[in-house]
Chains A and B, each alone.
Chain A
């Protein structure tokens, strides 16, 4: 199918974009990378009255780090994060691990991180990373601005706290200290599929003891969730040195955290190719592996 007819505007400034978005009587959609919106428009599941193309708003293309935060402008594409040094420190490595799992190169060269957060797909890699690190979503509207924490942002599948007259201008992350190890792993049937399960983790370890743990679960519920119970179980745990063993022993803190994440922090939905039992098993295994990947990164 082809998209239904719509009006189109391509503003050059944020304030012009906000003017266009203030027409709340109509279905107005923001077009950034377009790698999800245009699919929905092809299928005519979304038939906007007006499309506001923000690709010519140069000020939204900034990626900056400083003052303990990373600010990702609304037009920064996925491909920008493929290099682990695009953003300094461990968060740059986490972004790079996550970006490598997003679709394919031609999609990554168009799609944006802010667009992924606006779209709110439960299987989105960026939504999981933002949840793990409790990123701030920076919004502007004609009469003001606000920052919404990722923990308040997701309201269900494809539902967020954004009001229709608001524009995401950037995403703000806390920079991670050098003593933080990061991990990101994804399980899916083929590279063409959405994540069946993905996990983002950041771990601080001192003398073999976990200080702080942050775990974001992707596609483990109707929205991205933070594995708070698993995180709590990890704090103060002695992880020893996993060494070269293929599999961690069943009583290792990472394996235990995986089980807790699967049983207490997740609320997976059954899918045709993955029933609940299988999904919980996959979550437990993947959380354990991602934590191990993060712990190995600490010593680097």
Chain B
């Protein structure tokens, strides 16, 4: 099936089988390999990207469903001159990653939520609930939680 995805502002005309999930098409057809696939059944959140601004699991969406949609992956997070996004700076400052496999998912989930709901940074309980949606096996989550709160504060 012929579809067009707009990924990080760039248009990708593609020919994909309906059975292919968005995460695989981003990685293999768009060659944007920073989106990671962990569990492939919606539990780990490593593959989280933004589709029309909303964080979604890209393993639980078919690429053909996204025809015409605007997608943002972690490659699109840094500024035009390559300067890191406030969330990326905060993750670095708070040591919120170790192996880094889960990080693209956490960053995109937090980016999506902070853009629509910046006040979340002042509510530690809601940040806790947010962090619960993805799996990290290195950090124990606390540094990720702090990083999201730091990034939220730097935006305010």
| Residue B27, interface by CB 8 Å | no
- Other-chain residue from A4, A42, A51, A192 in contact with B59 (beta carbon distance below 8 A): A42
User: Of B5-13, B38-46, B94-102, which binds chain A?
Assistant: B38-46
Please encode chain A, from 205 to 242, with 1 for each CB lying within 8 Å of some chain B CB and 0 for all others: 00000000000000000000000000000000000000
Q: Is the CB of A107 within 8 A of B19?
A: no
Please encode chain B, from 56 to 71, with 1 for each CB lying within 8 Å of some chain A CB and 0 for all others: 1101111011000000
Q: Is the CB of A105 within 8 A of B55?
A: yes
Q: Given the complex, which residues of B lie within 8 Å of A41, measured CB to CB?
A: 19
Q: Is the CB of A51 within 8 A of B18?
A: yes
Instruction: State in angstroms the CA–CA spacing of A23 and B134 once bound together.
Output: 39
How far apart are A157's CB and chain B's nearest CB, in angstroms? 19
How far apart are A109's CB and chain B's nearest CB, in angstroms? 5
| Residue A6, interface by CB 8 Å | yes
Q: Given the complex, which residues of A lie within 8 Å of B61, measured CB to CB?
A: 34, 38, 110
Q: How many interface residues does chain B have, given as a range? A: 20 to 34
Instruction: State in angstroms the CA–CA spacing of A115 and B55 once bound together.
Output: 20
Q: Is the CB of A106 within 8 A of B40?
A: no
- Other-chain residue from A31, A55, A105 in contact with B133 (beta carbon distance below 8 A): A105
Q: Given the complex, which residues of B lie within 8 Å of A42, measured CB to CB?
A: 21, 40-41, 59
Q: How many interface residues does chain A have, given as a range? A: 20 to 34
Please encode chain A, from 56 to 89, with 1 for each CB lying within 8 Å of some chain B CB and 0 for all others: 0000000000000000000000000000000000
Instruction: State in angstroms the CA–CA spacing of A41 and B42 once bound together.
Output: 12
Q: Given the complex, which residues of B lie within 8 Å of A109, measured CB to CB?
A: 54-56
| Most A-side CB within 10 Å, residue of B19, B45, B48, B130 | B19
| Residue B113, interface by CB 8 Å | yes
How far apart are A50's CB and chain B's nearest CB, in angstroms? 10
- Other-chain residue from A55, A107, A192 in contact with B65 (beta carbon distance below 8 A): A55
How far apart are B147's CB and chain A's nearest CB, in angstroms? 18
Chain B residue at minimum C-beta to C-beta distance from A35: B60
| Residue B156, interface by CB 8 Å | no
Which residues in window 1-55 of A have CB below 8 A to B? 1-8, 10, 31, 34-35, 38-39, 41-43, 51, 53, 55
Instruction: State in angstroms the CA–CA spacing of A105 and B57 once bound together.
Output: 10
Binding site for A on B (CB under 8 A): 1, 17-21, 24, 40-43, 45, 48, 54-57, 59-62, 64-65, 109, 113, 129-130, 132-134
Known pairs A35-B42, A105-B129, A107-B133; list 16 more (Cβ under 8 Å). Answer: A2-B24, A3-B19, A3-B21, A6-B19, A7-B18, A10-B64, A34-B61, A34-B62, A38-B42, A42-B59, A53-B64, A104-B133, A106-B45, A106-B48, A109-B55, A110-B61
- A-B residue pairs, 5 tightest by C-beta: A104-B133, A8-B18, A3-B19, A39-B41, A106-B55
Offer 30 A-B interface pairs, CB within 8 angstroms, sorted by A.
A2-B19, A2-B20, A3-B21, A5-B18, A5-B19, A6-B18, A7-B18, A8-B62, A8-B64, A10-B65, A34-B61, A34-B65, A38-B60, A39-B42, A41-B19, A42-B41, A53-B65, A55-B65, A104-B45, A104-B132, A105-B55, A105-B109, A106-B45, A106-B48, A106-B54, A106-B133, A109-B56, A110-B60, A191-B132, A192-B132
